[in-house]
Chain A
Amino acid sequence: MQVQLKEIAHGRSGDKSDTSNLCIYARKPKYYQAMKEQLTPAAVKKHFEGVVFGDVIRYDLPQLDGFNFVMHHALDGGATRSLRLDTLGKTMEAALLRFVIEIDEK
Chain B
Amino acid sequence: MSGINNIMDIARKGLFASQAAIEVTGQNISNVNTVGYSRRYVRLEESLQLDYRPGQIGMGVEAAEVLRHFDRFIETNYLDKSTMQQRYDTLFGSLKSVDSLLYESDKVGGISSSLTQFFSDWQKLTTETDNYAVRETLLADTDNLLSVIHQADAQMTRMQQQANEFIQQDVNDINLILDKIAGINGQLKQVEIPGQNNANALRDDRDRLVRELAGKLDINVITRGNEQDFTITTKAGHTLLQNDQTFSLKFEGPRVTSSLVAGSTFGADGKLYFDGMDDFEYTIDFVSAGTAGSEYSGDPATAAMFRVSLDGGKTWLKDENGVELQFPAGDEAHLVEVRGVKIWFGQQGSSLTPPSNGPEVGDDFIVAPKSGVYWYQDTSTSENITPQIYANGEDNNRRITGGSLAGFFNFRDNYIGQYRDKLDALAKELIWSVNSIHSEGAGLKKLSEATGTYQVFDSTVPLVNDTSGLFFRDKLQSGNLQFYVYDGTGAMVGTQSLDFSAYGITPGNPNFDPENHSLEDVRDAFNDAFNGMFPPPPPAVPVQASIVNGSLRIASGNGHTFGFGQDSTGLLAGLGINTYFSGTDATSIEINSAVASNTSLINAGHYNGAGEINKGDNLIALDIAALKDTKLDIHTDFGGTSHQTLSEFYNALVSSVGADTSGAQFNFSYQNSLAQDLDAQQQSLSGVNLDEEMSNLIKFQHSYTAAAKLISTADQMLQTLLGLKP
A interacts with B = no
Identify the B interface with A (CB < 8 A).
Answer: none
Binding site for B on A (CB under 8 A): none
